[in-house]
Amino acid sequence: MKPLSIIVLHGASGDDPDERDTRDTAEAIRAALSRQGFDARLAHVSGRPAKLPWAAKDRPELVFNMVEAIDRDMQRAAEVLPLLEEVGIPYTGCSAAAQLAALSKTAQKNLMSRHGLPTPVWPQSGPALAKLDRVIVKSVTEHASLGIDAQSVVSGAHATEEIVRREARFGGRFFAEEYIPGREFNLSLLECGEGIKVLPPAEILFQDITSDAPCIVDYAAKWDETAHSYHHTPRRFTFPERDNALLGLLSDLARRTWQIFGLSGYARVDFRVDEGGRPWILEVNTNPCLAPDAGFAAAAEQAGMGYDALIAHLAALPLAAAEKDPRHVPHPQDC
């Protein structure tokens, strides 16, 4: 029987560490799919408007969506999804509507606020910002900690000045939200048949950090192997019994977030927990990194699902939903 054809689609075009990581991850996914018996190959998307020439002439049965940006523009990440929907090619992960709704961090926060989900305040005016002790200045649309470093955390009185400085340096729009001292957690969620599974929570540990430095996962911590923070922000999955109630609350909030944002396939919700033990949602990632050594794969491994099984499961979800020929479509794991 002819194997199912899958295109692993990405938009990485530069040589920055995050762009190289996307290409490496796409290749890791292709290899995992091939080991599972799929006919998997890579494809790259670029240009304005984005075009998918293979969609008609060499039509795959599935697109494994790894597009995090097109021509280095993260705001265009979801641009190909309506094109795939138009020609009836299923794809992995969250829908076009969900990804578009989550492109802006401030739009995310507005939606959270309307539904009563806890998220750090993000005043729009200078006087309101000045009332906050400390804020963290972030890009509205960029992910992967782009534009974030130790100097991103400033006093509220200097927030407007820092926003202007970072917009001039990095381009795009920036905003400031209240900085929450405390712990940081990532909760990965996976669609499983009729429901969703919250994978084992991960906490980011801030080790050997100087007392005056903010405890944040900045760009260097993720991408610069020469940086101190790169080697001193490990994740952990084991917790003392006293954290059980907190972990349960984080799981409940992650599930609510999934429903409110209309997520599907897989996603990640990032939290801070303040010194009083109260959780705050930082953001929702509708297309989290799937590198073999990244947090999502690590959480799946903790749940007993190896990398190849995870990738095959993510591919099986949209195939099953599209009701392809059941004789050769793998069914998602009952996880």
Domains of the chain: 5-93+290-321 (3.40.50.20), 126-178 (no CATH)
Q: Which residues of 49-73 are buried (b: 16+ CB within 10 A; e: fewer)?
A: eeebeebeeeebbbbbbbbbbbebe
Looking at residue 326, its pLDDT comes to: 45
Give burial (CB, 10 Å; 0-12/13-18/19+) of 279.
Answer: buried
Q: Which residues of the chain have pLDDT under 50?
A: 325-328
* CA 208-211-216 angle, 5° bins: 70
- Long-range contacts at 124-131 (CB < 8 A, ≥ 24 apart): 126/159, 126/160, 129/156, 129/157, 129/159, 129/160, 129/176, 130/156, 130/157, 130/159, 131/156
pLDDT tens digits, 97-153:
999 999 999 999 999 999 999 999 999 888 899 999 999 999 998 876 777 888 889
* Cβ neighbours around 16 below 10 Å, total: 15
Pairing of strands 5-10, 39-44: parallel
User: Tell me, what amino acid is at 149?
Assistant: D
Altogether, the residues listed in the chain come to a count of 335
* Alpha-carbon gap, residue 253 to 209, rounded angstroms: 29
* Alpha-carbon gap, residue 57 to 64, rounded angstroms: 18
Looking at residue 327, its pLDDT comes to: 40
Looking at residue 289, its pLDDT comes to: 94
pLDDT tens digits, 217-238:
877 778 777 777 788 888 999 9
Looking at residue 293, its pLDDT comes to: 94
Q: CA dihedral defined by 71, 76, 78, 80, rounded to 10 degrees? A: -60
pTM: 0.92
